[in-house]
Amino acid sequence: MGYDSTMSNTTEDSNQGIDKQHLASHIKNLVDKYQLVPEFLKVRGLVKQHLDSFNYFVRTEIKKIVRANQEIRSTLDPNIYLRYRDVHIGEPSMVFDAVTEKLCPQKCRLSDRTYAAPIYVTIDYTTGSHGQTSVSTKKNVIIGRMPIMLRSSCCVLYGKDEDELARLGECPLDPGGYFVIKGTEKVILIQEQLSKNRIIIDTDKKGSVQASVTSSTEKTKSKTIIKMEKEKVYLELNMFKTKVPIMVVMKAMGMESDQEVVQMIGRDPRFSALLLPSIEECADLKLYTQQQALEFLESDKMLKMPSYSTGPIEKGARALSILRDIFLANVPVHQHNFRKKCIYVAVMMRRMMEAILNKDAMDDKDYVGNKRLELSGQLLSLLFEDLFKTMNDEARRTIDTLLARPSRSSRLDISQYIIKDSITMGLERTLSTGNWDVKRFRMHRKGMTQVVARLSYIGSLGHMTKISPQFEKSRKVSGPRALQPSQFGMLCPCDTPEGEACGLVKNLALMTHVTTDEDERPIMSLCYCLGVEDLEQLSPEELHMPTSYLITLNGLILGKHKSPQRFANAMRRLRRAGKVGEFVSIFVNEKQRCVYIASDGGRVCRPLVIADKGVSRIKEHHMRELRDGLRDFDSFLKDGLIEYLDVNEENNTLIALYEKEATPETTHIEIEPFTILGVCAGLIPYPHHNQSPRNTYQCAMGKQAMGNIAYNQLNRMDGLLYLLVYPQRPLLTTRTIELVGYDKLGAGQNATVAVMSYSGYDIEDAIVMNKSSLDRGFGRCIVMKKYSAICQKYENGTSDRIIKPQRQGPEADRMQILDDDGMAAPGETIRNHDIYINKESPTVTRTPVTSPMGLPDSAYKSSKQTYKGPEGETAVVDRVALYSDRNNNLSIKFMIRHTRRPELGDKFSSRHGQKGVCGTIVQQEDFPFSERGICPDLIMNPHGFPSRMTVGKMIELLGSKAGVSCGRFHYGSAFGEPSGHADTVDAISETLVKHGFSYNGKDFIYSGITGMPLQAYIFMGPIYYQKLKHMVVDKMHARGSGPRVMMTRQPTEGRSRNGGLRVGEMERDCLIAYGASMLIYERLMISSDPFEVQVCRKCGLLGYYNYKLKTGICSMCKNGENISTMKLPYACKLLFQELQSMNIVPRLKLAEA
């Protein structure tokens, strides 16, 4: 080194300069790559999984179903038939008075209709019968109405811009993905399931290792289990009564040579040793040939159902058909060639034995790669298939009965017998109840649909990404509830409910995509082109050669390949070039020596940036093109810069978080780390600084926060609507907030919070609020409730009527708010017991009346509807909507509005799972103030911090404070510091100092009461606070005397029935222990259900009081000689009587007290 010291100094400087540039360019890259996320969401929408699935169903799946069941042919006359040629779904519409009317979703919501579109088919069919038939074609025959998912390709909202949506009364931020059934919005929850057609190795209850396959094909669904029990291998299939020795099954499938079986499993002596007992068992049974094995399987002790077909069938044919069609139904058998199935069984056994020898080879059922998500499209297709088949069967049966009838007047027109209503009604019923009862597939599932939560915008978004579990919630297992490492990036690690469903109900992450089915035939032929050796050509010996890997496509073994890595690379290259579908996954499993190719639907996957030797394929110019609008997300996919990876394929990758961290081995780079969170968790600023459960709590609470629910919120008629009067967007935002539109439909307000103790009314998370802030509108909310009335038409032609209110008389003051049309007028203040509709119903509704329209007044009875609200609360009639419902009855909806300001006990929460109730409201002059004149809106007790460890909340406060001082919204995206999506505390502190605050966010505060400075500096600044829907007015309840239950004469239960407060068992125990006998007596009898009884001292039974004779009389002894009067609880008397009715005689023995 020949430099002198100064020179070296400068070079060092310049080095640093380069370094800085280098670093900066990296950061620039990363910031830019973020642009892909909004682009992704623009292309796919927030609920793309639902929409894609439904679109797939409507475009492809429904056609497949119709094609598979395209013919209705009479069993009596095979010349009479109906054939479906084509099916498509039209525009959403409804028929009203024989006029087809186009529908839009908002109209359906308001008038309680189903948003459905006709299913059109083109049919060829025969007319006439008995040889004189002619074929004709009909186009656009409606076979039913399909409920349409909002924003799907069939929906009128598809591809509409903001203005057009507004014209249709729709909120542009509403994601769609749900249905409107009879006016209610229903979402079909994503169902989590174990993947179909895959070998899963696990243990059963007894601990024995088993390999199971749940087969699912268009025709059948079955579950096949091969298990090792008492060192022998058996097959379990529910067509067989008992477990079947596996060697018998192999022999029945034509694998008569034991040696071949051993070869197929592999020549490893350990495998042979494990198989030996099974081979011996088979030999003991003296089964050597296929025929013998089949006959053994068909014997009564094996086969479950006796043969019901009467005709003499070949021996062993039934067993063979079971083996062909039900046993491992996913492996096709062509022309009795069972070889593939045998190999499949062998592979199953091999994997099972591997697991026995090495426990690590066991499959993890909770592994996300072994799971499939069932979406609305798949569920609807199951339902539609069943209904379609039922309809066709019914049509066939009707035709057959008609044909069987000897004389008919008209020509037989088969096209008239496809009944439209069964499909329409079936779909509607299933979607509105959520009960999937598909007998054909033995499917009985409940609660599949839910009413979309419209409490807050984020709540409804979160609802669409919710995944309901496969297990029932009551099971006390920890495995499925635990956070799986394979969930990374696919499912949100934070968003899960607390309590029984904890960990079972999950939510999708922001960028997750759920695949739809893809045709596997082209992939299959492509595999063979790429050098996969077909199974048919392989000898058993060659199957498990150490040099080759098995190639599996969707669980089906295609063959083997000598150089799997090259094969996989070739496949991936083809996928990146767009020759194979982008969602096809290629996964090389080195442990199992297999290459798994998957194209089936329901896999979760996510986009990642492809890197070559650690260098990202996305370059600066790509991002520039994206910014200039020359590119979109799809072009990135098409050009092979980005690809979708599913959970399995992720195992073959090395993913770098940032490009700067990439090594030469890196194959992919994350787009943005905050996308591992879902929609709800994305609202939390700095979630990575919080204790994990706090984020989970916030995910649950964000859904209860009040705010704006949609742009069209005031035009909707929701049953219950909570709105904030002055909602704000958070000062500390995240990228997710911007992406999902929370900044446009916020649910909270930026409150200036002082973290200090004040007044003692802030213990246990209570918060102290500033009265002036409340006066100025902080936390003010509007609660709207819907009341509806129907002017019913009855079968005898009569109908309800709404009449003019009485302006005089006893009812007049309760009818003050009614207009002359008998309905409450908008803008009127409505009080408890006020009548909001003056309706009358006819007394006779069944039997025919002479003039149903001109009934006399006496034929009506009043059926006014009265408003029941809290006393003293002034609610207002907001809107009155009249419409005719599906049955053409006049219906009226009333929205009753109430504006509430926060009061003692209302619940508030920050975005960090820190909820608290309002403990006291304090005058502004008593509130502490800073010398700048800043006075907090809220005081929060500092004890909320140490145990909760919500550091994110503190950073939020700092960041918001810096934000208001410098006038720039600060960011706090998850893990966003390195990529610039979260402001660092350093930077924030600098801003604070620049604006004259202390770097630590603490202020010098004076007491408002004394005017003296407080001893400590107070951590003060804005925090986004949410008002939660739990408010005192809705819960407050007290009762003196009130209604009682008729049967027991005890006070009613529950606030809604003005019920009493129960002294329960535990309270009673306390009083007993304390010896407060009089109090117990008073609570349990005097104040509850005291009852005076006449007791006969002789027989010990209850008598009665004869008011004529003025004595008590025992009905048993027939006299009143030994009667005593005493008090006991009415419930006690009831018990005696109930016992007596059961032939048990309770007798009272009285003693002087």
Note the residues at the interface with other proteins (CB under 8 A).
714, 725, 771-773, 775-777, 780, 782, 827, 876, 878, 897, 899, 923-925, 929-933, 992-993, 996-999, 1003-1004, 1006, 1008-1013, 1017
- What is the edge-to-edge ordering of all strands in the sheet holding 829-830? 720-724, 781-791, 890-900, 875-884, 829-830
- Return the H-helix or E-strand segment holding 228: strand 221-229
The minimum distance between CB 957 and other proteins, in angstroms, equals 17
The minimum distance between CB 1077 and other proteins, in angstroms, equals 38
- CA distance readout (Å), 874 to 822, 848, 921: 21, 45, 22
> Using the 8-state DSSP alphabet, how is residue 420 labeled?
S
Q: Are 687 and 702 in contact (CB under 8 A)?
A: no
The minimum distance between CB 720 and other proteins, in angstroms, equals 17
Class of residue 490 by CB neighbours under 10 A (exposed 0-12, middle 13-18, buried 19+): buried
How much is the CA Rg of the chain, to the nearest whole Å?
37
The minimum distance between CB 145 and other proteins, in angstroms, equals 35
Which is nearer to other proteins, 860 or 997 (by Cβ)?
A: 997
The minimum distance between CB 747 and other proteins, in angstroms, equals 18
Nearest CA to 650 out of 618, 600, 603, 601 is that of: 603
The minimum distance between CB 994 and other proteins, in angstroms, equals 8
d(CA 768, CA 759): 8
Class of residue 983 by CB neighbours under 10 A (exposed 0-12, middle 13-18, buried 19+): buried
Which is nearer to other proteins, 780 or 970 (by Cβ)?
A: 780
Q: Are 341 and 331 in contact (CB under 8 A)?
A: yes
Instruction: Give the pair of three-digit tokens for residue 398.
Output: 């009707």
Which is nearer to other proteins, 772 or 884 (by Cβ)?
A: 772
- Which residues have a Cβ under 8 Å from the Cβ of 508 and sit 6 or more positions away? 49, 190, 465, 467, 490, 491, 492, 514, 604, 678
Which is nearer to other proteins, 5 or 850 (by Cβ)?
A: 5
Which is nearer to other proteins, 17 or 827 (by Cβ)?
A: 827
> Using the 8-state DSSP alphabet, how is residue 363 labeled?
P
Which is nearer to other proteins, 488 or 1006 (by Cβ)?
A: 1006
The minimum distance between CB 171 and other proteins, in angstroms, equals 15
Active-site hit among 86, 632, 639, 765: 765
Which is nearer to other proteins, 500 or 925 (by Cβ)?
A: 925
d(CA 836, CA 815): 7
Which is nearer to other proteins, 553 or 756 (by Cβ)?
A: 756
Length of the chain: 1153
- Which residues have a Cβ under 8 Å from the Cβ of 825 and sit 6 or more positions away? 817, 818, 819, 877, 880
Which is nearer to other proteins, 120 or 1006 (by Cβ)?
A: 1006
The minimum distance between CB 1019 and other proteins, in angstroms, equals 13
Catalytic status, residue 366: no
- What is the edge-to-edge ordering of all strands in the sheet holding 549-553? 533-534, 556-561, 549-553, 594-598, 585-589
Which is nearer to other proteins, 77 or 903 (by Cβ)?
A: 903
Instruction: Give the pair of three-digit tokens for residue 434.
Output: 């959520």
561-575 exposure pattern, b = at least 16 Cβ within 10 A, e = fewer: beebeebbebbbebb
Query: For 1058-1069, what is the HEC assignment?
Result: CCCCCCCHHHHH
Residue that the structure tokens 């994350």 belong to: 670
362 backbone dihedrals φ, ψ, rounded to 5°: -70, 140
**Contacts of the segment 393-398: beta carbons below 8 A, 24+ positions apart:** 394/419, 394/422, 395/72, 395/82, 395/419, 396/72, 396/73, 396/74, 396/75
The minimum distance between CB 996 and other proteins, in angstroms, equals 4
Which is nearer to other proteins, 862 or 998 (by Cβ)?
A: 998
The minimum distance between CB 890 and other proteins, in angstroms, equals 25
> Using the 8-state DSSP alphabet, how is residue 791 labeled?
E
Instruction: Give the pair of three-digit tokens for residue 145.
Output: 């109405």
Which is nearer to other proteins, 368 or 784 (by Cβ)?
A: 784
The minimum distance between CB 1028 and other proteins, in angstroms, equals 21
Maximum C-alpha span of the chain: 132
Which is nearer to other proteins, 27 or 725 (by Cβ)?
A: 725
The minimum distance between CB 937 and other proteins, in angstroms, equals 12
Start-to-end C-alpha separation, the chain:
114
Q: Are 817 and 807 in contact (CB under 8 A)?
A: no
Provide the pairing of β-strand 749-755 with 907-910: unpaired
Nearest CA to 746 out of 969, 984, 903, 467 is that of: 969
Q: Are 165 and 104 in contact (CB under 8 A)?
A: no
- Which residues have a Cβ under 8 Å from the Cβ of 114 and sit 6 or more positions away? 94, 108, 145, 147, 180, 181, 182, 428, 886
The minimum distance between CB 1020 and other proteins, in angstroms, equals 12
Nearest CA to 602 out of 66, 88, 79, 195 is that of: 195
Q: Are 25 and 978 in contact (CB under 8 A)?
A: no
- Residues assigned a catalytic role: 765
